Structure 1
Amino acid sequence: MNILKEVLKYQVYPAMGCTEPVSVALCAAYAAKELGEPIARADFKLDAGTYKNGMGVRIPNTDGEKGNLLAGAMGIVLAQPELNMQILGGADKQTVAKAKELLQAHRVHMEVAPDVHGFYIEAELTGLSGKTAKCIIAGSHTEVVFLAQGQNVKINQLPLENNTQQANEFKASLKKATLKELLDAADNADEEDLAYIKKGVEMNLKAAELGQALQKVGFYIKELVRKKLLQMDLISSTKILTACAADARMDGQAVAVMSSGESGNQGVVTILVPWKVGKEMEVDEKTILKSIALSHLLNGYVKVFTGELAPICGCAIAAGVGASAAIVYQQRGKCVPAVTLSINNIISDIGGMLCDGAKSGCALKVVSSTDAAIRAAYMAIHDYGITEVEGFVGKTAEETIRNLGSISSIGMRQVDPMIVDIMQEKCRQ
């Protein structure tokens, strides 16, 4: 198995809008296409992480409207699952108006699925004639594990173990990989891989350019520079770049970005940080693109231990690990000790950052990740870093990441339900 090609195929793809509500829309679209008639009722069940991530983020092509519920209704109206993770790009004002009619008529309902661990979206539709259709996406944002119209079942991979999809084969391989093997995989990226990675760079730079016009996080970092409270150096310019791209996404701008680990904001950090740093440091482009390949691999590697939607912030920690290691690769090549130090440094620094859902504030976390990734890499390049004598850092990068995964998946198991309770209480008020 070529692990890089598998990661690029399944975890690195164009997505318009926050990937959780987009996946809700996609699940709804599959069910709606099977139903083939107007709905009388739609019932959605989401895992806590997906529910959390879609509550406060703006939806593309809606003039700033927010939420999973609207995204699900739009997916029903569109009924075009073939658009995959760019499904909301097919929406217009008429789509949004029809979706809002469904919400105003109280035909769309959504709840957190009980006792579900891992990525899970279920959409069950009932038509005006009484006909039903059901779709379940689980394990990843695009993987349909169940699809049926009434008793006519087209896809059935149930029962799911613990209500989640079994790990894909490439994820099992990724989880067993060593840092050296991931470095080798990135170093051996072929021209097809590099061309696809370059496409992601171009997409994310376009999103950053669009975000420049918004008076959000990127704007205020530029204001700090203008007022001479910050210098316009490599770190500031990279933070502005990544912040503006995240600003555009979280604002619901109709622009696709190349995701990483099935997350758009992770794609922003994973791709743009090593790209910008590499260009500023005059690294040759092929090496930069290979470093981004490593960034994608490590982002995915962290997430097989922490979970798809973890209580900790993926766009800061998992993507930050990838970006930091990529910068070290640009300067030191396949030096396992140096890359290990960079990973230990950034996890020791921001490893406890919480995820409280997708929203405008994600750009702040992207900025923190950008800053931490560059700082961690610089120290590691010069052979300084946090070692196993401190905190939960392990003897190897693999051990540190496994420790982080245990803290996230076991130690913080009650964090997501608690955050969802807080968010739901705010909605009730």
Structure 2
Amino acid sequence: MDHKKNFDIYTDILKEELILALGCTEPIAIALASARCVEVLGQNPDEILVNVSGNIIKNVQGIIIPGTKNLMGVEFSALLGMIIGKSTKQLEILQGLTDDIIQKSIELHDKKICTVYHVKEKPKLYIEIIMKKDGQWAEVEVIHQHTNVTSLKKNGKNLIYNPCKEEEFNSSLTDRTTLTIKSIVDYISNVDLKIIRPIFKNELDYNIAIAKNGLNNDYGLNVGKTLLHNAKDSIKEKMKAFAAGGSDARMSGCDLPVVINSGSGNQGLTITSPIFIYAKENSIDNEKLYRALAIGNLIPIHIKTRIGRLSAFCGAITAGIGVGCAVTYLNGGTLKNIEDTIKNSIANLTGVICDGAKPSCAIKIASSIDAALMASELAMEGKVVQSGTGIIYDSVEKTIENMSRIACDAMLETDDMILKIMTKI
């Protein structure tokens, strides 16, 4: 494949992944699917059936739906999406919620028109919504990606039939086979700045705004505010504070949108704010900042392409790896230094669990930044975890694959146990 075509693919991947979402993406995906379903039905249903995978339940259970102050759960996500019914808004569907809409969702919830089922033997990201009214019915199915509608039916007639392989969670995405750490470093070092500037200016505008909101208001555990209060002149603590502050706000119902990474707002926030703070505090120019954001986003995308959108493995850890690599790049690190940063990170925090989206995610985000900076510092001193020890191999790609195997295969039972604990099964 020629060099320019490769670069075009990487730019397309960034545009595909770095999109806006209002609120945690799993509740929003349910709301969006529900809106699509009611549009097809053409009337408000008497009955709603929601079939979802365990990982969807896990990431919806502990999250406040944005703009509602305190509403949570699969039922409210589906009901709000049905009431709004504007699927063209995509992952910003819950923008502009009114008191009347919220009250109506509460009334419908009390009438118990919505029933939720945990479906097993399905992909980790799976949503099926069925709505019924006066003998009419509509059905929508979403698989692998939050907006990937694979089936849309009315009264059994296919309106959309776009099946994907359930075992291949990247089947609906832009081809990722050319992604490697080496090619990513080549891309971010040489891509025309005017191509990536709009992408990352947008990311900065939105993600720094919600970070500041989280630091200036009381949300969740106030992880960001607490870290910033004690930061004094520490750049590291400010980086952690801004990333955590954005998550504090987002996980607690803030109605500001976020530019996501790999389907996750928390991952987008983990990447953006620390890189911005590091560049600002070190008087680094915008060109290098944008290139650092490119590597900070693409490396987690590369890793998550192997792991998938949802798993038992905490996504903040992969996002933190991107931050560590960006800092290494900003400090003049070579490809070898960047690869060593990844190896040091993987040796440290592989296996950190995801026990659902919730306000305390901000703690893990702060920890991931701390670990990423240590990994970068070691790499820039020429220190790297010895190959052949633990899961670290000579090849950085093989090392990433080892971590991915743990996240995808070895942690399947962990995922089941987490869900059992969370749902008190």
Q: What is the CA distance between 1:231 and its match in structure 2?
A: 4.3
Structure 2: which 5+ residue stretches go unaligned?
none
Give the direction of change, closer, same or farther, for the CA distance of 1:163–1:96 in structure 2 (3 Å limit): farther
Out of 103, 108, 113, the position equivalent to 2:119 is: 113
The equivalent residue for 1:177 is 179
The equivalent residue for 1:207 is 210
TM-score (norm 2): 0.93
The equivalent residue for 2:304 is 303
Range with bigger deviation, 376-385 or 22-31: 376-385
The equivalent residue for 1:138 is 143
1:19-38 equivalences in 2 (<5 Å): 19-38=25-44
Number of residues paired by the alignment?
415
Q: Secondary structure, in 3 states, of the residue corresponding to 1:414?
A: helix
Verify: 1:285 aligned to 2:291, yes or no.
no
Give the direction of change, closer, same or farther, for the CA distance of 1:247–1:171 in structure 2 (3 Å limit): farther
1:338-417 equivalences in 2 (<5 Å): 338-417=337-416
Q: Is the 8 A contact 1:4 1:189 kept in 2?
A: no
Cα distance in 2, alignment partners of residues 3 and 373 from structure 1: 27
The equivalent residue for 1:41 is 47
1:189-208 equivalences in 2 (<5 Å): 189-190=191-192, 191-208=194-211
The equivalent residue for 2:166 is 162
Cα distance in 2, alignment partners of residues 37 and 331 from structure 1: 58
Q: Is the 8 A contact 2:38 2:138 kept in 1?
A: yes
Deviations 1:239-296 (CA, angstroms, capped at 9, x unpaired)? 1111111111011111011111111000011111212112212222111111111111
Residue identity opposite 1:321 in structure 2: I
The equivalent residue for 2:322 is 322
Deviations 1:114-143 (CA, angstroms, capped at 9, x unpaired)? 10133211111112x121111111121111
The equivalent residue for 1:149 is 154
Cα distance in 2, alignment partners of residues 165 and 198 from structure 1: 29
The list of structure 1 runs, each at least 4 consecutive aligned residues, that deviate by more than 4 angstroms after superposition, is 163-166
Cα distance in 1, alignment partners of residues 238 and 420 from structure 2: 38
Cα distance in 2, alignment partners of residues 299 and 111 from structure 1: 32
Residue identity opposite 1:78 in structure 2: I
Q: Is the 8 A contact 1:218 1:239 kept in 2?
A: yes
Deviations 1:94-124 (CA, angstroms, capped at 9, x unpaired)? 1111212221111111122210133211111
Residue identity opposite 2:128 in structure 1: E
Deviations 1:182-218 (CA, angstroms, capped at 9, x unpaired)? 1122223331322221111111111011112115111
Deviations 1:347-394 (CA, angstroms, capped at 9, x unpaired)? 111112100000011000111011111221122122212131321112
Q: Secondary structure, in 3 states, of the residue corresponding to 1:132?
A: strand
1:41-80 equivalences in 2 (<5 Å): 41-80=47-86
Structure 1: which 5+ residue stretches go unaligned?
none
Cα distance in 2, alignment partners of residues 163 and 384 from structure 1: 38
Q: What is the CA distance between 1:33 and its match in structure 2?
A: 0.8
Out of 122, 132, 152, the position equivalent to 2:128 is: 122
Cα distance in 2, alignment partners of residues 309 and 415 from structure 1: 13
Residue identity opposite 2:141 in structure 1: I
Give the direction of change, closer, same or farther, for the CA distance of 1:179–1:379 in structure 2 (3 Å limit): same
Q: Is the 8 A contact 1:41 1:126 kept in 2?
A: yes
Cα distance in 1, alignment partners of residues 158 and 406 from structure 2: 39
The equivalent residue for 1:104 is 110
Give the share of equivalent positions with the same residue, in percent.
Answer: 27
Q: What is the CA distance between 1:48 and its match in structure 2?
A: 1.6
Q: Is the 8 A contact 2:169 2:308 kept in 1?
A: no
Q: Secondary structure, in 3 states, of the residue corresponding to 1:124?
A: strand
Q: Secondary structure, in 3 states, of the residue corresponding to 1:135?
A: strand
Q: Secondary structure, in 3 states, of the residue corresponding to 1:90?
A: coil
Q: Secondary structure, in 3 states, of the residue corresponding to 2:93?
A: helix
Cα distance in 2, alignment partners of residues 381 and 171 from structure 1: 32
Q: Is the 8 A contact 1:4 1:293 kept in 2?
A: no
Cα distance in 2, alignment partners of residues 186 and 120 from structure 1: 34
Q: Is the 8 A contact 1:57 1:358 kept in 2?
A: yes
Give the direction of change, closer, same or farther, for the CA distance of 1:5–1:108 in structure 2 (3 Å limit): same
Cα distance in 1, alignment partners of residues 176 and 208 from structure 2: 32
Q: Secondary structure, in 3 states, of the residue corresponding to 1:39?
A: coil
Cα distance in 2, alignment partners of residues 278 and 31 from structure 1: 45
Cα distance in 1, alignment partners of residues 51 and 191 from structure 2: 39
Give the direction of change, closer, same or farther, for the CA distance of 1:163–1:111 in structure 2 (3 Å limit): farther
Q: Secondary structure, in 3 states, of the residue corresponding to 1:211?
A: helix
Q: Secondary structure, in 3 states, of the residue corresponding to 1:137?
A: strand
Q: Is the 8 A contact 2:351 2:406 kept in 1?
A: no
Q: Is the 8 A contact 1:118 1:164 kept in 2?
A: no
Cα distance in 2, alignment partners of residues 416 and 92 from structure 1: 36
Cα distance in 2, alignment partners of residues 395 and 244 from structure 1: 37
The equivalent residue for 1:11 is 17
